[in-house]
Amino acid sequence: MFEEEYDVIVVGGGHAGAEAAAAAANLGSKTLLVTMNLQNIGQMSCNPAMGGIAKGQIVREIDALGGYSGIVSDKSAIQFKMLNKSKGPAMWSPRTQNDRMRFAEEWRLMLERTENVDFYQEMVSGLLIENNKVVGVKTSLGINIKSKSVVLTNGTFLNGLIHIGEKQFGGGRAGERAATGITEQLVELGFESGRMKTGTPPRVDGRSLDYSKMIVQPGDVIPEKFSYTKTKPLTHQRDCYMTHTSAMVHDLLREGFDRSPMFNGRIKSLGPRYCPSIEDKINRFADKDSHQMFIEPEGWETVEVYVNGFSTSLPEDVQFKALRSVVGFENVKFFRPGYAIEYDYFPPTQLKHTLETKLVENLYFAGQINGTTGYEEAASQGLMAGINAHLKLQEKDALILKRDEAYIGVLIDDLITKGTEEPYRMFTSRAEYRTLLRQDNADLRLTPLSHSIGLATDTRMKRMEEKLEQSEALVNFFRETSVLPKDINPIFESVDSSLVKQSDKMYKAFSRPNVTMDHMLQLEDVSNFVKENNFDSEILEQAEVQIKYSGYIAKEKVNADKLHRLEAVKIPVNFDYSKLKSLSFEAREKMTKIQPVTISQASRISGVTPSDISVLLVYLGR
């Protein structure tokens, strides 16, 4: 039924698995994607949206590296917003509302069109392991399939347990069964596992809502897109809406608290701190008698609607009664109740930077199985695991993104160095170098790296080079061209900036606060140069960011260089920390467990102090 031996078997066709399969196959590995339901590839388990703060940057990074999530999101988008546009460019975060069914369909089609990917629908119940090396998988039908490496991306499915009020039943997601066998085998092999929890709101019938009582939330007037390839931006969009809970809604929900698995001890594991359930919000913020709710369409045509902000595992009758008291929901009809799910994960400190496990060679973990939450976090790990599984088989150097190169680098370094005890989601605040890690320059940062390993195509690379060349030409134009007081002073006057008496370089004028590219385009020389060279909005934006934020960018580069110096100080493999008695006990214990590769990584382990680092530096002769 199968190839004699695959290069890579990817277990699970969620966001992580789909990206892992695409990356390994596009690099040339013979890849098999085994998943429990081939209809649900790239399924959005929770809200029908991609991106958002810090997550949008990750989608752009995935795209710049040659992954598919950005393209799939663009093709299935129904609304686009650039969040945080009023803040600096480091904070700009693209987000799409997506057609849930089309998103999954696009993923499936993209993978079907990818050479080297075979598909098989079944549950993987165990791994084939010989001499601490994975050599394939076994399925629940008892079939053994051989491979040189395996990427596990089981998401919320491992021993998944769904809770709705007092009812609980096995499941990996509503309507899908849980996966069994893998956790038990891995624990027997010496892996540590834990339990986490997440939840989702009810879905309702949009025809039963009164939108006239809600506040409309349209998309951007000029929608952008995720992918650096030639996907099309939206020409029309669907609106979302906003409404609020009230004291009455909270009272109705409180009536069910004694039957809530969150409060009666049935759910023991930790959920995502920044995505709390409505009962959690009412409990934690008892003084607030209103919370925002966003009403998001699930697609272009479907009437199903996602009730963002109302995630709950309260009994379905309590959910329904409370929802009917929300303004605009007086006649609401349910499609599906909200629920919570508990599942197994594996603390990610058991992984190397490549996402290969330390215990079993050629076995990789990616996605929610590593304690993360979110499609974007999962997809990016899948991409990196797929890339590194392929590179290792080819005996090539691993691709490890640094903390100043990508949010993906921050994510993986945080996971494997610090671990996580609650679902980890990305925030801009987790990145030390966020001025460098912007959504506008992900291609400039990452496409050359990906092209060098053969993943990003020549077309992508060429587009990136053109963008770099054109934006540099425009910055140089501002640097070299002077502007007369009579031309620039009206602009300065319009932004309350002091006037000048002598001509000066345009770059200097542009650097002033509140002077924007739109102002500069009012100058004839500038608009002529832009027209002559056919520069599009992407080039204008890139040049503007490079000029306006040059000081911040330069400062962060200096700090990043300092980090690189510490990254260069390598710690020998299997270093015996117990012999360094001047290290604190905690540092010895944690470094022995995590086995940091460099001094820089050691310094990021929680509990390792600057004096521990000094001891190590002295020992290593630095």
Ligand X SMILES: Cc1cc2nc3c(=O)[nH]c(=O)nc-3n(C[C@H](O)[C@H](O)[C@H](O)COP(=O)(O)OP(=O)(O)OC[C@H]3O[C@@H](n4cnc5c(N)ncnc54)[C@H](O)[C@@H]3O)c2cc1C
Question: Binding residues for ligand X, per CB under 6 A?
Answer: 11-17, 34-37, 40, 45-46, 123-124, 153-157, 172-173, 179, 182, 198-200, 275, 341, 367-368, 373-375, 378, 425
Cβ atoms of 381 and 169 within 8 Å: the answer is no
Angstrom distances, CA of residue 174 to CA of 200, 267, 314, 336: 10, 17, 15, 9
> How many Å apart are CA 551 and CA 277, to the nearest integer?
42
CB of 200 or CB of 471, closer to ligand X: 200
Q: How far is the CB of 312 from ligand X (least distance, A)?
A: 11
Closest approach of ligand X to the CB of residue 182, in Å:
6
| Known binding-site residue numbers | 12-17, 271-285
CA angle 71, 76, 81 (to 5 degrees): 85
Instruction: Provide the 3-class DSSP secondary structure of residue 177.
Output: coil
Q: Judging by DSSP bridges, how do beta strands 482-483 and 292-297 pair with one another?
A: unpaired
**Terminal CA-to-CA distance of the chain, rounded, Å?**
57
Residue 604 and residue 418 in contact, taking contact as beta carbons nearer than 8 Å? yes
**Backbone region of residue 324 per phi and psi (left: phi > 0; alpha: psi in -120 to 50; beta: other values):** alpha
CB of 443: closest distance to ligand X in angstroms?
A: 24
Closest CB to ligand X among residues 35, 227: 35
Distance CA 394, CA 567 (A): 25
Give the total residue count for the chain. 622
Residues in Cβ contact with 604 at an 8 Å cutoff, skipping those fewer than 6 apart = 413, 417, 418
Annotated binding site for NAD(+): 271-285
Q: How far apart are CA 130 and CA 152, in angstroms?
A: 17
Nearer to ligand X, 49 or 401 (CB): 49
Closer residue to ligand X, CB minimum distance, 56 or 199: 199
The span from the CA of 443 to the CA of 61, in Å, is 7
- Measured from the CB of residue 512, what is the shortest distance to ligand X in angstroms? 40
> Is the CB of 100 or the CB of 225 nearer to ligand X?
100
Residue 182 β-bridge partners: none
Whole-angstrom CA distances from 265 to 19, 158, 162, 583 are: 37, 21, 14, 40
Residue indicated by tokens 């260089």: 561
CB of 572 to ligand X, least distance (A): 34
Residue nearer to ligand X on the CB measure, 295 or 553:
295
Annotated binding-site members for FAD: 12-17
Minimal distance in Å, beta carbon 507 to ligand X? 42
Task: Give the nearest distance from C-beta 43 to ligand X in angstroms.
Answer: 6
- Our CB check for ligand X shows the closer of 78 and 162 to be 162
